[in-house]
Structure formats: C-alpha cells, structure tokens
Amino acid sequence: MIPNSQKINITITPETDKMIVFESVYLKQKNKDIFLNFNLVVQKNEKILIQGKSGIGKTTLFKLVLGFEKMDQGSVTFNGYPIDKVHIKEIREQVFYLSQDIDLKKDKVGLLLDEILTCNPKRTIKDSSLTNLMSFLDLNPEILEQNVKALSGGERQRVGLLICFLLDRPVWLLDEPTSALDDAMKKKIAAYVLDQDKTIIIISHDDVWKKNGPIKIERWL
C-alpha cells in the first residue's frame, strides 16, 4: 500500500497509435443495458462522429473515458494505459470535454477564463491567440465582463469552444458542440475542428460535420 502522503506522478507518453480503446465493455444502469459487449478503437488524430437517438449511451461513452462512470465488465484504455486511479489525473489533463449543457462556473467570462488558464500551466496563452479566437467565434470583447448566467445558449456554446481551442489539448470530446449555433457558424466550427491535428470524438445530430472534412461516422440505433 502506498502511504497517502506519497505523491504519484504518472506521465502518459505515446505508446501506440490507438488513442482510446473500448474492449468488451458491459454497463448496466437502472436495469437497462447501456453497453453490451461494446468495442471501439479510436486511432490517434482520428475524427469520429457519433450519431443516434437520445438515451442510448453516447454521453456515457465520454464519461467512461474521463473516469466519471465505471463499467461492469470490459476495459477502456487511453494511449495504452488503463483508466484507473493511478492514471486518471494525467489522462484528464490531456482531454477537453465539452458537455452538452455547457457546464460553466457562474462567474464573469473573463474571470472564468483566467481561472481555467491559471489552473492549466502547461498551456501558455498569448493575448493575440485569445483575440483572434474570439473574433473567429464572433464573440465581442465586451462578453468578458458579462456573467456566464446572462449568456445565451449560443454564446455559452462558443465560450465553451473558446476554452477548448485555448487549452489545445490532444484529445477533444465534444457533446453537441454546435446545436445552438446558426448555419454559418456551424460550418466555420466544423471546418476548424476537423482540420486540427487532434483525436476528436463528436456527438452531434448536425449533418454539417459530414461535409467539412474526413470523418468516421458511427451510427448508433
């Protein structure tokens, strides 16, 4: 047993081209089979679009990767490492998760960005990067003084994407990232995201993702 006072530092280094692997995963919730012998391999820098009706486990898939849900049987690995207590901290530091409800702290947008970026010292943000990305996302600089709770759904979604782009982590898990955006912005976002040298899994009902670059489509019935 390792004493509680001993700090464990695990560095997740590239071991394989298989970034995320679900193998024979079984998960049951409220007497309902969510995953039954589920298998999926996500290669490094692959883009995958998952489409399907609500309530069939798409969001749960992301929670398994982040260690927020635990399977009953099977395994999930991240870059060859098991998603367990030893590795989960380092794994989460390499993943950006944009939830469907854009769960952001109720604070001024500028203060929220400062807090998030301060807590992520591995990523140094230049003022020009923030300015350019805000312009790209059609976010007025005045939004930095607004409280998150006062934002519209589309503004919240774009602020969430702004944080994703600024942190620039190697793996993105995006749950309905364009649902509240107009068609022009959807096209801009899809083209930008699919052009990134990242491993990206997208849950979305928007067909725009199929028209803006190479993407593997997983349809869940």
The strand pair at 73-78 and 18-29 is best described as antiparallel
pLDDT, residue 41, reads 96
Task: Provide the 10 A C-beta neighbour count for residue 146.
Answer: 15
Highest mean pLDDT among 82-96, 104-118, 119-133: 82-96
- If one compares 144 and 129, the residue with the highest pLDDT of the two is 144
* CA-closest candidate to residue 142, choices 155, 153, 160, 129: 155
Contact in structure between 82 and 56 (CB atoms under 8 Å): no
pLDDT, residue 213, reads 77
30: region left, alpha or beta (phi > 0 left; psi from -120 to 50 alpha): left
Phi–psi pair at 96, nearest 5 degrees: -110, 125
Contact in structure between 206 and 186 (CB atoms under 8 Å): yes
pLDDT digits (tens, 9 = 90+) for 4-59: 333 333 444 445 699 999 999 999 998 899 999 999 999 999 999 999 988 889 99
Tell me the whole-structure pTM to 2 decimals. Answer: 0.89
Please tell me what DSSP assigns to residue 190. Answer: H
